[in-house]
Each structure stands twice: as C-alpha cells, then as structure tokens.
C-alpha cells in the first residue's frame, strides 16, 4: 500500500529533495556506474522518487571510509545548509570495527547530528547496522552492533525519524547480496536496500525487497574455507593495515554529487529498480 502522501500518476509527493550522507554504504560501493563511479541504493532511491516528481533534486555527500565524527563534521552541516526535504543518514559502521570502540559514545554523537538535521526542518531516514552473523571474523562484532542499534531505535523514536532496519533484512544473509569483499553490497543488494528504504517511506511493499533468492548450490565445506581464507588475505588484512596506519579508502576523494541537482526521470518502460531479478 502506498502512503497517502504519495499518489502515483500525479505530481503530489512529500519529498522534492534528498541529501544522502554517510560512508561507502551510501556512496554505493560496489554497484558499478559509468566510468569509475558507483550507483548504490541512494542513487536508486533518488531515481525512484524523481520518476514521480519532475522537479526532484538530489545530492550525495557520502565518501567511502569515513568515520562517524568525520561524517558529522564534514557532511551533516552541509546537508542541513542545503535545506532538503529528506536526508538519509547512515554512519558508525567503520567506527564499530575499530578495537575498543564504544557504541554508547558513538550513539551520543549520532543523536546530536540527528537533532541538528531535524532542527533544520529535514525529515531523516536512519539505519541500523547489519547483522554480521554470516560474515567470518565479523561475527564477534554482533554484540556492539546490537547495542548501537538499540540506541538508534531510541533516537528514531525521539526525533520521529524513518527507520530502516538492516539487521532484520534476512535476504541480506545470502552471499549474493554482497560483493567479493563481503563488506559492501552487490548491485542486487543495493537494489533491495533501495526498495527497503522506499518501504520505510511508504513507497513500496515488502514483496519488492524481500523476494526469495533463486535456489543456489551450496559450495563444499573445503571450498568455502578456501574462499574464506582468500577473502581474509585479500580484503580483511589490507583493511586492518589501513586502520593501523590511520589511512582511509576515501582519503583525498570528494563527494560524487555535492550539490542538489535534478536527475533524469526514469522512463515508464524501464523501471529496473522495481523489477524482480532472477
């Protein structure tokens, strides 16, 4: 069922502008776009909204590797100054992975930023962290993620935000939802998250993002262990090295879409965002 504020086929839409802030998840890694760019769930969501609002504008300030204090200091004030109708705000995942990080302290910082965005007149979408139970070496973080998530639910209630519960998206427990590094979503994973956000905004139904995956053959135990070892060697070890050196994948990068600009409307016969994929 669609929201009463959304009338398909008319120009009535509550949100005419969207700013996305965050890290690699919101930038769109690993959902390849033209050239060296990424698409991602936020771009897909903006395309869906723009299909119904010809004057819709969109900015994406997210940069891979950013920690929550950097997002709050560098992106949130700019987002508020643009005065969009809607802001998506996801951050803290990189911080949680740092040894000895404190999810309670992170949530306190997060809440101040949400309060600032709401004071600027923006509707805000926030996200829980993913459930890491199916990812080797990250399972030990589940407790910290759960504590952080509980704070985010409280923040969402206090500030009347739209909540996207990534933890409960069991379709994301399938490896096909993730890219080779198992830290970033695949194109299909991004598509499903975009539709899940649309659901939180009242613009989609559960069946669109929660459709079962096609049957797939399970790899043999030894093959899975070899894949896990290769993943740790090629992706986890380099990430730990950057962390210890105080480096980030986003060092020196600028936001891919720093201004609120119109985006092309999606043709009526090419709504690939909402088509089910095999």
Q: pLDDT tens for residues 177-218?
A: 998 887 899 999 999 999 999 999 988 777 789 898 888 766
Mean pLDDT, residues 102-125: 98
pLDDT of 272 above 60: no
Q: pLDDT tens for residues 31-72?
A: 998 888 899 999 999 999 998 787 899 999 999 999 999 999
pLDDT of 129 above 90: yes
Q: Output the pLDDT for position 235.
A: 65
- Lookup result for tokens 């802030």: 21
Q: Output the pLDDT for position 177.
A: 93
Hey, where are the domains in the chain?
A: 17-212+255-264
Q: For 17-212+255-264, which CATH superfamily applies? A: SGNH hydrolase (3.40.50.1110)
- State the Cα angle at 191 between 189 and 192, rounded to 5°: 65
pLDDT of 120 above 90: yes
Dihedral-angle region of residue 249 (phi above 0 means left; psi in -120 to 50 means alpha; beta otherwise):
alpha
As a whole number, the mean pLDDT across the chain is: 85
Find, among 152, 179, 157, 154, the residue nearest to 167 by Cα.
152
Asked if residue 184 lies in contact with residue 178, where contact means CB atoms within 8 angstroms, the answer is: yes
- pTM, full prediction: 0.84
Q: pLDDT tens for residues 81-108?
A: 999 999 999 999 999 988 889 999 999 9
pLDDT of 270 above 80: no
- Lookup result for tokens 């600028």: 254
| Higher local confidence (pLDDT), 230 or 44 | 44
Angstrom distance (rounded) from CA 203 to CA 200:
7
Q: Tell me the percentage of the chain whose pLDDT exceeds 90.
A: 59
């Amino acid at each position: 069922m669609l929201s009463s504020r959304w009338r398909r086929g008319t120009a009535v839409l509550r949100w005419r502008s969207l700013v996305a802030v965050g890290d690699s998840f919101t930038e769109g890694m690993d959902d390849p776009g033209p050239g060296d760019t990424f698409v991602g769930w936020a771009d897909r969501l903006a395309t869906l909204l723009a299909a119904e609002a010809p004057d819709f504008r969109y900015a994406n300030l997210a940069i891979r590797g950013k920690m929550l204090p950097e997002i709050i200091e560098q992106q949130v004030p700019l987002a508020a100054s643009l005065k969009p109708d809607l802001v998506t705000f996801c951050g803290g995942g990189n911080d949680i992975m740092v040894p000895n990080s404190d999810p309670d302290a992170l949530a306190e910082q997060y809440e101040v930023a949400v309060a600032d965005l709401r004071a600027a007149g923006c509707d805000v979408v926030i996200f829980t962290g993913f459930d890491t139970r199916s990812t080797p070496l990250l399972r030990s973080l589940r407790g910290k993620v759960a504590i952080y998530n509980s704070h985010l639910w409280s923040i969402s209630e206090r500030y009347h935000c739209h909540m996207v519960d990534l933890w409960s998206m069991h379709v994301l427990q399938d490896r096909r939802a993730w890219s080779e590094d198992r830290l970033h979503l695949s194109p299909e994973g991004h598509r499903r998250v975009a539709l899940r956000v649309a659901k939180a905004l009242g613009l989609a139904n559960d069946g669109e993002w929660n459709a079962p995956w096609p049957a797939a053959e399970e790899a043999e135990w030894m093959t899975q262990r070899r894949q896990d070892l290769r993943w740790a060697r090629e992706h986890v070890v380099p990430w730990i090295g950057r962390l210890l050196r105080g480096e980030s994948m986003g060092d020196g990068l600028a936001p891919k879409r720093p201004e609120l600009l119109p985006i092309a409307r999606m043709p009526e016969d090419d709504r690939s965002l909402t088509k089910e994929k095999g």
